Amino acid sequence: MTYVIGEPCIDVLDRACVDECPVDCIYEGKRSLYIQPDECIDCGACEPVCPVEAIYYEDDLPEHLLEYREDNARFFEQPLMGRSEPLGTPGGAAKLGALGVDTELVAAHPGPAG
């Protein structure tokens, strides 16, 4: 089991969760953050610091956010734009920095109004 970042994070990228994560398993895409499910130790430190309540334990995801469980994993399992190989289990987000790409689900999400 793991924690999942859902739709409320899109275009927010607050990073309080990144600072709180003891194992550096929260990676930055272009419009959202993603938790690497194999690196997450299920400590829950990220959940209470999220200002937009985008992080849920995967079994507690509200029904309207269920597609984000697979989407978080997809970020690491499939090659993303501009990459020939999947990220897999990189072993820490800090060494990679912001990746500048997202999954199709996040990329297709309408931007903020205005």
What pLDDT is stored for residue 80 in this prediction?
76
Average confidence score pLDDT of the chain: 92
pTM above 0.75, yes or no: yes
pLDDT per residue as tens digits for the range 30-61: 999 999 999 999 999 999 999 999 999 999 99
- Identify whether the C-beta of residue 58 lies closer than 8 Å to the C-beta of residue 86: no
Domains recognised in the chain with CATH numbers: 3-100 (3.30.70.20)
What pLDDT is stored for residue 1 in this prediction?
66
pLDDT per residue as tens digits for the range 64-114: 999 999 999 999 998 876 778 899 999 999 999 999 999 999 999 997 754
- Distance between CA atoms of residues 96 and 6, nearest Å: 22
What pLDDT is stored for residue 25 in this prediction?
97
- Distance between CA atoms of residues 43 and 34, nearest Å: 16
Amino acid occupying residue 41: I
- DSSP assignment letter at 38: T
SS3 18: helix
- Distance between CA atoms of residues 55 and 25, nearest Å: 13
